[in-house]
């Protein structure tokens, strides 16, 4: 007998029939003798609709009230799921974030989980009840309802699994596992049976939205096994048909490249002819950091006549703010002009085996050169190789690289 947390994403609870289908999976696990907690997302599209309501009342609405509204999608699903389970003869009860309580800080719309006080929930599970927790939401110290950021129900599920000391957290979604790249972009993508936390963390933070990055961080910190699997297949999680995300297995040879992710909505900014003197990087990036602009890649080109060009990438949403900051700081930085473009994408290769294989980068550059795709910036770390290219080449580059690294489904 195990204690399992089953999370159902938006598509998995997209309408009442699907909620009933998800309830059947929960029942199958309970009938096998497992203790089960369920975490649900809002029905597909509901969170977007709620955000739309907030925006149409006021573009600059209060963050507290924003969360009061957008957290309600999950509240509905939790109640409906508990009813569907009761209809199947199971003992079930819904739990809103504040009822658990799942405590967070007060950063509305991207709150961080501080503590999950799951004692009452656990007691009832041990007594044979199925606890259905609303994902995505929590409660701050001042009693306000908070939400955890888009895709946050994954993080709710892992946090609950950790608090309950569950044996595994199963994430039911609309694909049957983690793929070598987004299966919607490349039909040759293949399912990865087992991926390490470290690789999954890089995949998620570089755009593979199948798991929210913070859920992987948390699973890694507490060594919580996570499985990604399909809500549409007949099998349930105990049959282990999905992708298992766990600690790396030292006894196995790691792949040179395990997966490829992409991050759209990037912008590239170049400061042309910056005075080449000590302290210039601080003069550029200090004010940007203080304005809350997150910098990703940085490239400095060797210049002449005591000037240099500094290029960096940021999220497209931050572009206007970044330009404003740089204009304001013009006298401190000393540059000729700013050149900025937003039609760029970052493609990242991820693989634990990069540590021990040579030639990963050469293959990437040759493959892109072959397709006449220009590289604007390069980034490397222990298990990642990232390049910035024009957005229009996203699909072409992904597919070519997928083939070049031998990842195409057989
Ligand atoms: P849910 O609503 O269940 O949380 P999401 O839409 O958040 O589901 O995540 C599932 C989606 O993630 C898939 O439909 C797929 O398009 C996308 N995705 C992106 N990269 C990958 C990948 N490498 N493997 C699997 N799915 C991926
Ligand atoms: N409903 C929230 C969202 O759409 C949280 C989630 O589904 O994980 O982002
Ligand atoms: Mg999701």
Residue pLDDT, tens place only, 232-274? 999 999 998 999 999 987 656 677 899 999 999 999 999 999 9
Distance 315 CA to ligand 3 centre (A): 20
* Crossing angle of the two packed helices 63-70 and 72-87, in degrees rounded to 10: 20
135 lines ligand 1 (CB under 6 A): no
156 lines ligand 1 (CB under 6 A): no
Residue 250's pLDDT is: 63
Residue 35's pLDDT is: 98
Question: Which of 87-91, 249-253, 352-356 bottoms out in mean pLDDT, i.e. has the lowest?
Answer: 249-253
CATH 3.40.50.720 fits 3-174, yes or no: no
351 lines ligand 2 (CB under 6 A): no
What atom in ligand 2 is closest to the CA of residue 148? 5
Q: Which residues of the chain are in CATH 3.40.1160.10 domains?
A: 3-174
Distance 81 CA to ligand 3 centre (A): 18
Distance 41 CA to ligand 1 centre (A): 14
Domain 267-341's class? Answer: alpha beta
What atom in ligand 2 is closest to the CA of residue 42? 1
Q: Which of 97, 88, 168 shows the shortest CA–CA distance to 130?
A: 88
Residue 248's pLDDT is: 84
Question: Which of 22-31, 98-107, 233-242 bottoms out in mean pLDDT, i.e. has the lowest?
Answer: 233-242
Residue 252's pLDDT is: 60
- pLDDT tens digit sequence for 35-72: 999 999 999 999 999 999 999 999 899 999 999 999 99
Compute φ and ψ for 48, nearest 5 degrees: -60, -40
Distance 208 CA to ligand 3 centre (A): 10
Q: Which residues of the chain are in CATH 3.30.2130.10 domains?
A: 267-341
Q: Which of 152, 155, 159 to mutate to test the pocket of ligand 2 (most atoms within 8 A of CB)?
A: 152
Peptide bond into 383 cis (omega under 30): no
Alpha carbon of 109 to those of 63, 92, 104, 211: distances in Å?
Answer: 7, 29, 11, 18
What atom in ligand 2 is closest to the CA of residue 154? 8
Distance 251 CA to ligand 3 centre (A): 31
């Amino acid at each position: 007998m195990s204690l399992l947390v089953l999370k159902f994403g938006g598509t998995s609870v997209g309408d009442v029939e699907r909620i009933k289908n998800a309830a059947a999976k929960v029942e199958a696990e309970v009938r096998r003798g497992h203790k089960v907690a369920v975490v649900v997302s809002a029905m597909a599209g509901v969170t977007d609709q709620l955000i739309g309501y907030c925006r149409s009342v006021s573009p600059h609405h209060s963050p507290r009230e924003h969360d009061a509204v957008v957290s309600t999608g999950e509240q509905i699903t939790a109640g409906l799921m508990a009813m569907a389970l009761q209809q199947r003869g199971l003992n079930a009860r819904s739990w809103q974030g504040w009822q658990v309580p799942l405590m967070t800080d007060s950063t509305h719309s991207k709150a961080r989980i501080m503590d999950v006080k799951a004692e009452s929930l656990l007691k009832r599970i041990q007594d044979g009840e199925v606890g259905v927790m609303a994902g995505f939401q929590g409660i701050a110290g001042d009693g306000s309802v908070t939400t955890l950021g888009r895709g946050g129900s994954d993080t709710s599920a892992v946090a609950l699994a950790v608090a309950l000391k569950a044996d595994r957290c199963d994430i039911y979604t609309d694909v049957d596992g983690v793929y070598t790249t987004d299966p919607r972009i490349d039909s040759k993508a293949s399912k990865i049976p087992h991926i390490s936390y470290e690789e999954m963390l890089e995949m998620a933070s570089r755009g593979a939205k199948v798991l929210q990055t913070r859920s992987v961080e948390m699973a890694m910190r507490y060594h919580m096994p996570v499985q990604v699997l399909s809500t549409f297949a007949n099998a349930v999680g105990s049959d282990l048909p999905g992708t298992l995300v766990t600690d790396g297995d030292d006894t196995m040879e790691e792949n040179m490249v395990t997966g490829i992710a992409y991050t759209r909505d990037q912008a590239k900014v170049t400061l042309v002819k910056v005075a080449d003197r000590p302290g210039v990087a601080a003069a550029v990036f200090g004010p940007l950091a203080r304005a809350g602009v997150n910098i990703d890649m940085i490239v400095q080109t060797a210049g002449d006549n005591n000037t240099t060009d500094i290029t960096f990438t940021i999220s497209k949403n931050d572009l206007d703010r970044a330009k404003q900051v740089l204009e304001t700081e013009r006298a401190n930085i000393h540059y000729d002009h700013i050149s900025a473009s937003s039609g760029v994408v970052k493609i990242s290769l991820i693989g634990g085996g990069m540590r021990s294989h040579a030639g990963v980068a050469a293959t990437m550059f040759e493959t892109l050169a072959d397709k006449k795709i220009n590289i604007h910036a390069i980034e490397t770390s222990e298990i990642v190789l990232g390049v910035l290219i024009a957005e229009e080449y996203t699909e072409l580059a992904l597919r070519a690289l997928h083939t070049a690294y031998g990842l195409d489904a057989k």
